[in-house]
């Protein structure tokens, strides 16, 4: 690790759950990387990121929904932590024990593979899309009206599910997905630092030429 990276902690990971945060911290500590971890999703994450950006943070890591919120509202550079179909398997295993319709809360697009898995396992699901905190609360209320027995989703829908007494399970990102995002972000930082050094060297040469001509 270069001294420049040690001095400038420019990567921040915004974790929507404590589980993800702890997993990320363990990976970062093991590999001794200059990455800070904070807990927050959607609106909360945007507030945290805005303050960190003012303090010099250059790149953010988070899950898909929060990533989009950061890009749209702050225009910051981001790396997404993937959520694969395999990450749903532990949750689906728990869901099989419930009788009735299962609500699936998701941001953006739902995987067709997940729907296929549920169909093959004879699990009835009803999908609810949201993109903001307000919409998350609305879909939770709608799921309750639809008399679902259990819901699966992220930290934001979990918050509202607890408020309205809806049984909810959080889908966590796998360690490999978190590692991939961290390694991608670190590689981007190294390239950024290299570009800064090249730009600095170019400016020094231009200044020398300018002095010679003068």
CB 152 within 8 A of CB 102: yes
Q: What is the pLDDT of residue 135?
A: 93
Of 24-28, 160-164, 206-210, where does mean pLDDT reach its minimum? 206-210
pLDDT tens, residue by residue, 15-60: 999 999 999 999 999 999 999 999 998 889 999 999 999 999 999 9
**CA distance linking residue 88 with residue 114, whole number of Å:** 8
Decide: 121 and 88 in contact? Cβ < 8 Å.
Answer: no
Helix (H) or strand (E) holding 151: strand 150-153
The answer to whether residues 150 and 102 touch, using CB atoms and an 8 Å cutoff, is yes
Predicted confidence at residue 201, as pLDDT, reads 72
For residue 81, how many other CB atoms are within 10 A of its CB? 26
Query: What mean pLDDT do residues 115-143 have?
Result: 91
Q: What pLDDT score does 172 carry?
A: 94
Please state the pTM of the whole predicted model: 0.84
List the one residue out of 187, 188, 192, 150 whose CA is nearest residue 171. Answer: 150
């Amino acid at each position: 690790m270069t001294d420049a990276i040690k001095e400038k902690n420019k990567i921040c990971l915004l974790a929507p759950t404590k589980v993800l945060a702890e997993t990320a911290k363990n990976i970062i500590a093991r590999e001794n990387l200059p990455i800070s971890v904070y807990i927050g999703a959607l609106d909360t994450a945007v507030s945290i990121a805005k303050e960190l950006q003012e303090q010099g943070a250059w790149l953010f890591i988070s899950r898909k929904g929060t990533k989009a919120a950061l890009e749209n509202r702050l225009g910051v550079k981001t790396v997404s932590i993937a959520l694969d179909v395999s990450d749903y398997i532990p949750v689906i295993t728990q869901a099989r024990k419930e009788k009735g319709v299962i609500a699936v809360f998701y941001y953006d697009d739902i995987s067709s593979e997940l729907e296929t898995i549920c169909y093959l396992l004879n699990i009835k699901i009803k999908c609810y899309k949201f993109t903001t905190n307000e919409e998350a609360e609305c879909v939770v209320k709608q799921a309750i009206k639809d008399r679902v027995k259990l819901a699966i989703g992220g930290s934001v829908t979990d918050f509202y599910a607890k408020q309205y007494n809806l049984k909810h399970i959080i889908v966590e990102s796998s360690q490999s997905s978190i590692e991939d995002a961290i390694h991608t972000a670190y590689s981007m930082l190294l390239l950024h630092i290299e570009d800064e050094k090249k730009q600095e060297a170019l400016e020094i040469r231009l200044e020398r030429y300018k002095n010679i001509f003068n």
